A = this chain, B = another copy of it.
Amino acid sequence: MVNQSIRVEESQSRKNKPDSSELVFGRSFTDHMFVMDYSSGLGWHNPSIIPYQNLSIDPAAMIFHYGQSVFEGLKAFRTQDGDIQLFRPEKNLQRLNHSNERLVIPPIDEEFGLEAIKQLVELDKEWVPDAEGTSLYIRPFIISNEPYLGVAPSGHYKFIIIMSPVGSYYKEGINPVKIAVENKYVRAVKGGTGEAKTGGNYASSLKAQEIVEKEGYSQVLWLDGLEKKYIEEVGSMNVFFKINGEVVTPALNGSILAGITRDSVLELLRHWDISVTERRVSMQELYEAHQDGTLEEAFGSGTAAVISPIGELYWDGNHLNINEGKTGELSKKIYDTITGIQYGKIKDPFNWVVKVGKKTEVK
């Protein structure tokens, strides 16, 4: 597989790039996309970079009916020197295969997947914006496309990578959000697909999200599906709490997505010798810590915002105001460090950064 070369068909025309001050997440796409097919006999084959274009798919394709699909999300950053770099992309490919395993989708060669990302970014490198806080969002995904209405794993798949330039998440500096704890709807449960990055998890979250947004909260904080007591994660972020000087985050229990930003935060805190524990965290514990004044900081972690401080948690009639609704010192320090590494402004002692343009030869 790694020995396959990627066929490249360059676009004859180039689109206008949106102004970097007007970038909206996930609305405009670059000139090219990567596509690779899978069929039972051939395995993954025919890897190609082609002009960004519509897919032509049979209405009976399984993706439209039984949702067998997985995806990833990562970013390419432009450094002050004009270099382009990815942040821990091998982790995304690992996680993609982990999701594949749960969704009964054949694994892809991770090294080759990374090579595909690099070649695509390299070809569309002019799309990596250079304004402060901007980046190129990369979306690898796999869809089942056998035209068959039986409920069974598909015999055909498409692995696709598309890319979208994104603006700064924080237009006016890092800023806390209000989050509502969800008591009725459930995102995932042990034995389900919560650990995988698959469409169904997000489809099921829309209802609760719609309700809390109307009430002025930006996202939902999910509780465990069994007892609705323990913190799981936010819509598209993992969560951390600083209680009495120590940091805690829910342990990966089988229903939480293993965030790559989460993993980076853990490494960073350990590197700094700050006490951090992965364990069960109940809403009751947070409530009590808030009452006795030891809930010092709370923040979400994810590729989109990196760190998103939580200024208010709404739970069951209680408005828990955290750190006076301001960004905590530790939250800010983590944010500055990770984004500093991503944009090449500070040293990367962890080897997280992967340069684009330094190709491994693929023949």
Is A173 close to B, CB under 8 A?
no
Docked pose: A177 CA to B141 CA in angstroms: 36
Flag if B55 contacts A56 (CB, 8 Å).
yes
Instruction: Beyond A151-B206, A186-B189, list 8 extra A-B contacts (CB 8 Å).
Output: A27-B149, A56-B56, A57-B57, A60-B139, A65-B71, A192-B192, A192-B204, A199-B203
With a CB–CB cut-off of 8 A, which chain B residues contact A29? 59-60, 147
Docked pose: A243 CA to B66 CA in angstroms: 34
Those of A47-91 within 8 Å (CB) of chain B? 52-60, 63-69, 71
The chain B residue with its CB closest to the CB of A206 is: B104
Given contacts A54-B57, A67-B67, A207-B102, contact A151 B202 (CB under 8 A): yes
Contact with B along A212-228 (1 / 0, CB 8 A): 00000000000001101
Is A18 close to B, CB under 8 A?
no
CB distance from A255 to the nearest CB of B (A): 9
Is A340 close to B, CB under 8 A?
no
Docked pose: A187 CA to B66 CA in angstroms: 13
Is A300 close to B, CB under 8 A?
no
With a CB–CB cut-off of 8 A, which chain B residues contact A141? 64-65
Q: How large is the interface on A (under 10, 10 to 19, 20 to 34, 35 or more residues)?
A: 35 or more
With a CB–CB cut-off of 8 A, which chain B residues contact A226? 189, 225-226
With a CB–CB cut-off of 8 A, which chain B residues contact A185? 191-192
With a CB–CB cut-off of 8 A, which chain B residues contact A210? 104, 153
Flag if A162 contacts B66 (CB, 8 Å).
no
Instruction: Choose among B151, B192, B209 the residue that contacts A225 (Cβ–Cβ < 8 A).
Output: B192
Given contacts A55-B56, A193-B203, A225-B225, contact A65 B150 (CB under 8 A): no
